[in-house]
A and B are shown apart, each in its own frame.
Chain A
Amino acid sequence: MLKVAVKFCGNCNPQISVSEILREIQEKAAGILPGVEFVYQGAEEADLLLVISGCPVDCAERPQGISREIVVAGESVNYVTCGLSGLSSQVVNLLKNLLNWEE
């Protein structure tokens, strides 16, 4: 089981649709990662922070208490550019690796 706290940046002038990206991630994860739960509240009890920022500035404020994070910032994941179409797959791959590692 992996509890993932979702945090958005606030979207002042987003280059990507953050809600659309999250929806894609959730849809892809639903089929292959049943042990992942996405939450908006109660981040302090989460295992991982998924930050989805609308642009590469990635100014989203991080809640305290979570050391591990995956960061979508514009068209990058963990600051590596992967293009709009590759964002959700890349996040799901990282989640899969984390789950495998946890097991």
Chain B
Amino acid sequence: MMTGEQYVESLRKLKTVVYAFGERLDNFVDHPLIRPHINAAAATYDMAHDPEFEDLVAATSHLTGEKINRFTHIHHSTDDLIKKVKMLRAISQRTGSCYQRCVGFDGINALYSVTYEIDQKYGTTYHARMKDYVLYLQKTDKMVAGSMTDPKGDRSLPPGKQADPDMYVHIIEKNDRGIVIRGAKAHQTGVVNSHEMLIMPTIALDEADKDYAVACAIPVDAPGVLHIFGRQTNDTRKFDEMDQGNACYGAVGGEALSVLEDVFVPWERVFMCGEYDFAGMLVERFASYHRQNYGGCKGGVSDIVIGATTAMAEMNGVAKASHIRDKVAEMIHLAETIYCGSLACSSQGRALPCGSYFVDPLLANVTKLNVTRNIYEISRLSHDIAGGLLATMPSEQDLKHPEIGKYVEKYSKGITSVPVIDRLRMVRLLENMTGGTALVESMHGAGSPQAQRVMILRQGNLPHKVKMAKRLANLDKSGNER
């Protein structure tokens, strides 16, 4: 297992092409826009070595019996699924931010099972390749970006009917050595500071779109790959210190648009090539694993938000007011509710044909849908309690200004026992964790709410509910009243 420092140094050896603010970054590893996200990912490496956390962040490989980082593990029990959720909460409590590594973790688990089932139907050898790839990841402890989301163009049209065929990643050539793919992957969490991209289709496909049914792994610095780092709200604050709020770990994951311009993939890293009838299964597996996460990671992030809000109430002198305590209780209730969902879908997990374990997809989707609401409400309550200073506080430079700094300090005072700088730092932490990009991520990360509703309706066993209602209402089988 790598340490955090070894992980950071390993990134320096890559030739990753990264653009931001209209420039190609010569040294993305130390760039202020990106370094906080690297620090957050590094925590997943360091915590696997820390005796306090290793019970969750390390695991035992089912392939070798060796100790590995859990982010490279294939779940083989409901206990594994539960530990994943607990691990995410523990790391979030440490970073207060996204550490990005769960996406690739979910990708390898989804593909591990789906490749087995493709092989069962078509006699292919994808699962053996996938096993080799998992073994490679476990031995090298490389970070994988789960690359599913295509740009999608006109959402009303399937991939093959788009005006531009590159709106979805597709195979443009096959030869005896491998395949060549073209397209792009959007909203790629942590991709610039990963080692590998795991490419997967983003929607269910039919036969006409079989060239879009492609799953494969490529290095992030493979020829033809470039990454355009996405802007976040307040991202120029990364060039400051206090005004960042969470200067060490940043906010959310550091997303990018990854362009794949005729990228060669050798056959040993191809895990789906034209088996369009398994694209939907892969999307559902990946999405369910990923939606499982959110009560863990957002639960842990919410713990920090609740702590910061409570600290703000104390610094403002209102912590004992009954309405404040009531609102804090509501925030805890909302955070623990999403955590309950993640634990529930894990405890109700089941074995798949290949022997790995899968979450309960209905409960996983319910969890993520709750996250799209609860995190907004937690943030709203935090804003209510913390006060308007969240939106109007002068800058770090004004606080340090030789002439006007004294006024910022004098008129930013809360209770006398707390230094002004402490109150202002807490304001910035809360502001950056509860607004802008950090908030939108709760809505659209792991899929937008409608994607969860579609899966909830599919999994919700609605005919059974109607049947039960009809029985109690004393209706006959035709639906007529008796």
Contacts and interface: CB of A to CB of B under 8 A. Distances in A.
Interface of A: 6-13, 18-19, 40, 59-61
B51 A11 contact: no
7 interchain residue pairs of minimum CB distance: A10-B56, A12-B86, A10-B55, A12-B89, A12-B90, A40-B51, A8-B52
Contacts of B57: 10
A99 B314 CA distance: 47
A13 B303 contact: yes
A9 B89 CA distance: 13
Given A18-B52, A19-B52, A10 B87 contact: yes
Nearest to B82: A59
Contact of A10 (B83, B299, B303): B83
Interface of B: 51-57, 82-83, 85-87, 89-90, 93, 296, 299-300, 303, 339
A11 B300 CA distance: 11
A10 B54 contact: yes
A8 B51 contact: yes
Contacts of A10: 52-57, 83, 86-87, 90
Contact of A12 (B51, B54, B56): B56
Contacts of A11: 52-53, 56, 90
A8 B303 contact: no
B93 A13 contact: yes
B55 A7 contact: yes
Contacts of B56: 9-12
A87 B398 CA distance: 48
Contacts of B82: 59
A10 B85 CA distance: 12
A102 B321 CA distance: 56
Contacts of B303: 13
A7 B83 CA distance: 16
A6 B52 CA distance: 10
Q: Which of B51, B86, B296, B299 has the most CB of A within 10 A?
A: B51
A60 B54 CA distance: 10
22 contacts: A6-B51, A7-B55, A8-B51, A8-B53, A8-B54, A9-B55, A10-B52, A10-B54, A10-B56, A10-B57, A10-B87, A10-B90, A11-B53, A11-B56, A12-B85, A12-B89, A12-B90, A13-B89, A13-B90, A13-B93, A13-B299, A18-B52
A40 B55 CA distance: 12
A29 to B, nearest CB: 18
Nearest to A6: B51
B55 A8 contact: yes
B99 to A, nearest CB: 15
A87 B82 CA distance: 28
A22 to B, nearest CB: 9
B37 to A, nearest CB: 23
B78 to A, nearest CB: 12
A12 B303 CA distance: 11
Contacts of A60: 55
A98 B83 CA distance: 33
Contacts of B90: 10-13
Q: Which of A8, A9, A12, A61 has the most CB of B within 10 A?
A: A12
A61 B86 CA distance: 13
Contacts of A6: 51
Q: Which of B53, B296, B303 has the most CB of A within 10 A?
A: B53
B79 to A, nearest CB: 9
A67 B339 CA distance: 33
A12 B85 CA distance: 9
Contacts of A40: 51
A46 B169 CA distance: 55
A81 B83 CA distance: 26
Contacts of A9: 55-56
Q: Which of A10, A13, A18, A59 has the most CB of B within 10 A?
A: A10
A94 to B, nearest CB: 21
A20 B9 CA distance: 32
A13 B90 CA distance: 6
Nearest to A17: B52
A100 to B, nearest CB: 28
B51 A59 contact: no
A8 to B, nearest CB: 5
